[in-house]
């Protein structure tokens, strides 16, 4: 009986220490600036690279695939993103300033 109690205690301790909340780690932070002038409903963000893809530098970007709930001027967000593939590039008009595009894959408020 004593050894069964010890085994159960060890198992419960193991379960409690191995259960961890699923938490996404974000590689970038950004501030949502405004809607793009010439790329449909694509929004412009000012991005800071924390430890993500070295090809994506601190800069201003069109944030393709930004969820609607994050399309608010001045909103601070955390996100993961990637560069668009050749089949994802599209032309914008030349009414306003041009920025490179990134594809938002995950996002949450900061």
The model's confidence at residue 94, banded by pLDDT at 50, 70 and 90, is confident
- What per-residue confidence (pLDDT) applies to 7? 58
> Which residue bears the tokens 């695939």?
65
Radius of gyration of the chain (CA): 21
76 Cβ contact list (under 8 Å, min separation 6): 29, 30, 31, 32, 109, 110
- Contact (Cβ atoms closer than 8 angstroms) between residue 24 and residue 77: no
- Alpha-carbon distance of 50 to 104, in angstroms, equals 15
> Which residue bears the tokens 């920025």?
99
- Contact (Cβ atoms closer than 8 angstroms) between residue 41 and residue 35: yes
- Contact (Cβ atoms closer than 8 angstroms) between residue 38 and residue 92: yes
User: 20-70, pLDDT tens digit by residue?
Assistant: 445 579 999 999 999 988 888 899 999 999 998 899 999 999 999 999 999
């Amino acid at each position: 009986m004593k050894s069964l109690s010890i085994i159960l205690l060890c198992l419960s301790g193991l379960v409690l220490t191995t259960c961890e909340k699923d938490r996404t780690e974000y590689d970038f932070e950004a501030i949502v600036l405004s809607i793009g002038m010439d790329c449909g409903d694509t929004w412009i963000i000012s991005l800071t690279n924390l430890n993500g893809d070295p090809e994506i530098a601190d800069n201003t970007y069109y944030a393709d695939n930004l969820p609607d709930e994050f399309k608010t001027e001045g909103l601070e967000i955390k996100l993961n993103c990637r560069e668009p593939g050749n089949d994802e590039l599209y032309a914008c008009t030349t009414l306003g300033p041009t920025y490179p595009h990134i594809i938002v894959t995950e996002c949450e408020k900061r």
